[in-house]
Amino acid sequence: MHKIIQITDTHLVPPGHTLFGIDPATRLRKVLAHSKYAHADADAIVITGDLVDTGDRFAYKLLHDILDDVPIPVYLTIGNHDNRIAFREVFGGDGFVQTTFDIGNWRVLVLDTNDAGMDCGALDGGRLQWLDEQLAAAKEKPVLIAMHHTPSNFHAPFFGVEDDMKDPGSFLRVIKKYGNVRQLLFGHRHLSVAGSFCGIPFTASRGTSHHIALDFQQHGRSMLVAAAPSYDVVFLSDESVVVHSHHGLDTYHAIRAGDVKNELYAVA
């Protein structure tokens, strides 16, 4: 059994600033501390975009400093709030922010869907071809794809098509082509959602920063709320994929004590 931590939509701002009255850096640190305590055996952390809120270089520097002490490999990609140039100035490298790595028998693809200056996602500039080549190279290995944007708006009336991916049909055709994609991980929507595209299961994590209130009566501008920061834990085996969501990281009063004392909870 292998384990990946998915973190998304951290939306960091430069030190000394807040976003909608909250401190995204504090929330990210809280998630990292929680995951280190609860999932010390994790193989990797994948952060699926909107790393910072306005593409600010100082916010990327803050993220770099926060991640510097993380004891396991961290893989990053970017979303619509990110700036690829500013990201590369701090984290190094060049080109699209995407990579591939193996965990056990699994091949993990981290895909860059940033379309500079736009809210929507894109896979132009050779990215769709890169995805096709990586899936072909994986052959019979089970593949997990982690990315920021989603192919559709999840039937939520407060999302418009301008938030979706350009040409989602081409993306879906490629991920079906080789029959080896077993799971998709998304961010972007600030909601916790699960389902499937073309028979391929997906989960979307709601993120560590602000969240969107799940209200299907909303049309147009969505309501943002300061719910507790959230992250997902993905268990991978030869037979299954299981995703758990940590939605509340605050201390709670337990109404029944368990067999093992857990320092994260206070027993009433």
What is residue 190's three-state secondary structure? coil
- Single-letter code of the amino acid located at 78: I
Position 156 scores a pLDDT of 86
Per-residue pLDDT tens over the stretch 215-260? 888 888 888 999 899 999 999 999 999 999 998 776 667 777 676 6
Find the radius of gyration of the CA atoms of the chain.
18
Note whether 201 and 240 are within 8 A (CB). no
Q: How far apart are CA 96 and CA 113, in angstroms?
A: 9
Per-residue pLDDT tens over the stretch 153-200? 888 888 877 778 999 999 999 999 999 999 999 999 999 999 999 999
Beta bridge partners of 52: 12
Per-residue pLDDT tens over the stretch 39-92? 999 999 999 999 999 999 999 999 999 999 999 999 999 999 999 999 999 999
Concatenated DSSP letters of 149-188: --SS-TT-TT--GGGSBSSHHHHHHHHHHSS-EEEEEE-S
Q: How far apart are CA 93 and CA 251, in angstroms?
A: 40
Position 264 scores a pLDDT of 54
Note whether 114 and 55 are within 8 A (CB). no
Per-residue pLDDT tens over the stretch 86-130? 999 999 999 999 999 999 999 999 999 999 999 999 999 999 999
Residue 206 region by backbone torsions, left for phi larger than 0, else alpha for psi between -120 and 50, else beta: alpha
Per-residue pLDDT tens over the stretch 238-250? 999 999 999 877 6
Which residue has 């350009």 as its token pair? 166
Position 160 scores a pLDDT of 76
Count Cα neighbours of 79 within 13 Å in the Cβ-side half-sphere.
Answer: 29
Domains of the chain: 2-267 (3.60.21.10)
Provide φ and ψ at 203, rounded to 5°: -130, 150
Q: How far apart are the first and last CA of the chain?
A: 35
For residues 142-175, one letter each, b for 16 or more C-beta atoms within 10 angstroms of the residue's C-beta and e for the rest, the string is: bbbbbbbbbbeeeebebbeeebbbbebeebbebb
Q: Name the band, by pLDDT with cuts 50, 70 and 90, for residue 207.
A: very high
Q: Name the band, by pLDDT with cuts 50, 70 and 90, for residue 18.
A: very high
Q: Which long-range contacts (CB under 8 A, 24 or more apart) does 90-96 make?
A: 90/57, 90/60, 90/61, 90/63, 90/64, 91/60, 91/64, 96/125, 96/126, 96/127, 96/130
**Whole-structure pTM value:** 0.94
Q: How far apart are CA 33 and CA 39, in angstroms?
A: 10
